[in-house]
Amino acid sequence: MLSTDCLCISLRRAARGVSRHYDGALDGFGINVAQYSLLCNLQRLDQPSISSLAEAMGLDRSTLGRNLRVLECDGLVTLTEGADQRNRLVRLTDAGAERLVAAGPAWQAAQQRLAERLGDEKRRALLALLEELASGE
């Protein structure tokens, strides 16, 4: 693998490696890392609009829409009309909540493996750096 001083390339490569790690943990649950994250955010936000969900996840609406369609076809989420007909709400179904509960221990085990690999000091430093980069300042 070629090394690079480019932060963007290095971060994207690291993100793909981390995604593969979590996707491997989610094998057998019928969801990938992006879908698990979406389900977690739906559980946390309790029937958000598509716009507010996209904003909370840092996604554009079209990317979120593609992921929602897959989850809707699998019966894990439903979309309903909000008070304003232009605004759709997203709800986690019982099947979606059950899938989250089932996949939770595998997710936590993957999380623990990465945390142990980094060690506590590096993990805290990485989280701080990522937060700084995500804030855009």
Domain positions in the chain:
28-132
Q: Which pTM value belongs to this model?
A: 0.86
Most confident of 56-60, 62-66, 73-77: 73-77
Predicted confidence at residue 3, as pLDDT, reads 67
How many of the other CB atoms lie within 10 Å of CB of 53?
A: 21
Select from 134, 30, 55, 45 the least CA-distant residue to 91: 45
Which DSSP state fits 48? -
In CATH, the architecture of 28-132 is Orthogonal Bundle (1.10)
Give the least confident one: 41-55, 92-106, 108-122. 41-55
For residue 40, the SS3 value is helix
Distances (CA, A) of 106 to 37, 48, 124: 14, 26, 22
Token pair of 58 as six digits: 């840092």
Cα 87 to its chain centre, rounded Å, is 22
For residue 52, the SS3 value is helix
Give the least confident one: 26-30, 33-37, 89-93, 132-136. 132-136
Give Rg (Cα) of the chain: 17
Predicted confidence at residue 1, as pLDDT, reads 56
57: amino acid identity, one letter? M
HSE-up of 70 (CA within 13 Å, CB side)? Answer: 13
